[in-house]
Amino acid sequence: MTKEKLRHIALVGHMGSGKSTIGSLLGKLMNYDHVDLDVAITNQAGRSIGVIFAEKGEKVFRDLEEQALESKLSASESLVISTGGGIVERSSNRRLLQEKSFVIWLRTDIKTLVKRVSKRSTRPLLIGKDPLEVLTKLDAERADLYSEIADLTIDTNNMKASNVSELLFDSLKSHLGIENE
């Protein structure tokens, strides 16, 4: 594995898998900055993801997402990057992630995801739709793509975010040559 690939850690997985929370915690443990791509896109566009979807459509959002990913993966400082669930839909994003980051798939079963995402109604792909139906369809479309690019897969079912981040940190230490402080 190249040093370039190990500079950045990218978390992938479905909405509700814990990418943002775990990314923040893992960044602190590793002493890496954490970037949530959805937040970066929101800041860049000056509007929420939901508004971007509503006003411009999913394609424009995916274009902004790809630009944000390229930008963050070009950063010289080490980052933990929490991606959006659909980041894997574009082959160019999958290639970038594989080449320039250590990719971790936070795999979570559909029932757990439905429980988690039902707490928030602001997710554009779920507005006015049945979360179980949407997540089942997304899993059929994306699971193989997550698996294809993952350097490490962890099942997050029934685990607290703090436990997942600590487990990931322990797994990454040997890859990155990090010692506990």
Chain centre distance of CA 113? 14
- The model's pLDDT over 74-115, given as tens digits with 9 standing for 90+, comes to 999 999 999 999 999 999 999 999 999 999 999 999 999 888
- The model's pLDDT over 6-58, given as tens digits with 9 standing for 90+, comes to 689 999 999 989 999 999 999 999 999 999 999 999 999 999 888 998 899 88
pLDDT bin (cut points 50, 70, 90) of residue 4 is: low
For the chain, the first-to-last Cα distance in angstroms comes to 24
How high is the pLDDT of residue 61?
Answer: 92
Residue 2 scores a pLDDT above 70: no
Those residues with Cβ within 8 angstroms of residue 147's Cβ, 6 or more apart along the chain or in another chain = 105, 153
Answer yes or no: are the C-beta atoms of 94 and 88 closer than 8 Å: yes
Residue with the bigger pLDDT between 36 and 181: it is: 36
- The model's pLDDT over 116-158, given as tens digits with 9 standing for 90+, comes to 888 766 676 777 788 889 889 999 999 999 999 999 999 998 8
How high is the pLDDT of residue 121?
Answer: 64
* List of domains in the chain: 3-174 (3.40.50.300)
